Amino acid sequence: MLTPLFSLTQTSDKLILKLHIPLADLSNSEFLVEDGVVFFGAPPYYLRLGLPGSVVEDDDHIEFKLESGDMFVTMTKLTPGEHFEDLDMLSRFIINSDSKKSASNVGIQILDSTTTLPEGTVDYDWFVELLEENDAARSDDDPMNVEIIKYPYGFAASKSGLFVDKPETCLPIDLPNPDFCPPSKRHRLQLQSVQDHFQAEHYIADYYETEASANALRQSIPWTEDKTGAPEFSDEYRHRLTVLSTRALPLLPPSPSDIGSLEKVKVEDTRTFVYLGLADLLFAYTYDYRVREGDENCESGWVVAKIASTLSWLEASFTQLEHVTRFFVLM
């Protein structure tokens, strides 16, 4: 069965679901709203959708436009005037048929801002004081001083051994011997590299010649602007969101028993690494966006890959937000 392209819009008292179903067998179609879930089937299409808010069941209006292959379903909000949030985040509303079976292998889960933390969940402190490393602990910072064992990297430290047979993939990476350098050394090696390559003359020049950075600082950032009247997502983007909802992304690293003497990491620490790693990527993207003043640039991928510690140094052990921001301050 195919998942149809769809979109959600709203008025003050209506919720409108648009389905693009050009190949649907309408003579064998079904549509049902029950307990806040929309069920739609019309071979070869099938969709199960969790609604963003409460609607009046058995009070929907269906309209077909055969020339475009679109179906419009207008549902009445249970509370007139209620505003449903994030209607453009389509992947959060799709309910996969195997969601219960894959509960232990979930991917990205979007939580409501008012969600209460379950019992036993760790409340992360992102802003505790960052302690400097002991100078004595830096004696083993030689990049060649590594154990003969493959260490993980990537999203949630879920990859390893990718650079052994493909040295050309190491070009954007500054970390020596990426497959054999333990996570505990990467941060110190990066800090040492930044200090070794720091040039006071360039820093002073950038400080006094403000013209070069003035435009970047004045750059209007689109995601901070008022979104009233923002353009709708294209069908291609909606398709990407639909496909994303069916892909499970790993949240946990490989079991220590599967990768030898890898340092054991608690689940809550791993999630911290993931969240701070995403923050690192967002910082790098924002920096690149300001520098290129919002224009398209073929070198943006290289810039982000070099600036983000998650990519250039395969950093996988962020524990505090200061670990992420300190290298952006040094730039």
Please say if the pLDDT value at position 277 is more than 90: no
Between residues 140 and 272, which one has the greater pLDDT?
272
Between residues 189 and 118, which one has the greater pLDDT?
189
For position 14, what pLDDT does the model report? 94
d(CA 47, CA 30): 11
d(CA 183, CA 314): 8
* CB contact at 8 A, 67 and 33: no
For position 273, what pLDDT does the model report? 80
Task: Say whether 12 sits in a helix, a strand or coil.
Answer: coil
Between residues 127 and 286, which one has the greater pLDDT?
286
For position 138, what pLDDT does the model report? 46
Mean pLDDT of the chain: 76
Please say if the pLDDT value at position 211 is more than 80: no
For position 31, what pLDDT does the model report? 92
Between residues 217 and 44, which one has the greater pLDDT?
44
Ramachandran angles phi, psi of 239, nearest 5°: -65, -40
* Region of poorest pLDDT, from 47-61, 227-241, 302-316: 227-241
For position 1, what pLDDT does the model report? 77
d(CA 74, CA 138): 64
Please say if the pLDDT value at position 111 is more than 90: no
Task: Say whether 232 sits in a helix, a strand or coil.
Answer: coil
- The CATH number of the structural domain formed by 5-95 is 2.60.40.790
Please say if the pLDDT value at position 305 is more than 70: yes
* CB contact at 8 A, 17 and 72: yes
d(CA 37, CA 276): 34
Structure-derived torsion over alpha carbons of residues 225, 229, 230, 232, reported in degrees to the nearest 10: 160
d(CA 82, CA 128): 39
Q: What percent of the chain has pLDDT over 90?
A: 20
* CB contact at 8 A, 327 and 309: yes
For position 142, what pLDDT does the model report? 54
Domain ranges across the chain: 5-95, 135-330
Which pLDDT band, with edges at 50, 70 and 90, does 90 fall under?
Answer: confident
Burial of 127 (0-12, 13-18, 19+ CB in 10 A): exposed
d(CA 18, CA 20): 7
Which pLDDT band, with edges at 50, 70 and 90, does 162 fall under?
Answer: confident
DSSP characters for 35-71? TTEEEEEETTEEEEEE-SS-EEEEEEEEEEETTTTEE
pTM, rounded to two decimals = 0.55
Mean pLDDT, to the nearest integer, of 245-255?
Answer: 54
Output the 3-class SS for 242-291: HHHCCCCCCCCCCCHHHCCCCCCCCHHHHHHHHHHHHHHHHHHHHHHHHH
* Region of poorest pLDDT, from 11-20, 80-89, 194-203: 194-203
Between residues 99 and 279, which one has the greater pLDDT?
279
For position 24, what pLDDT does the model report? 92
For position 128, what pLDDT does the model report? 45
For position 139, what pLDDT does the model report? 46
Please say if the pLDDT value at position 13 is more than 90: yes
* Region of poorest pLDDT, from 74-78, 121-125, 152-156, 238-242: 121-125
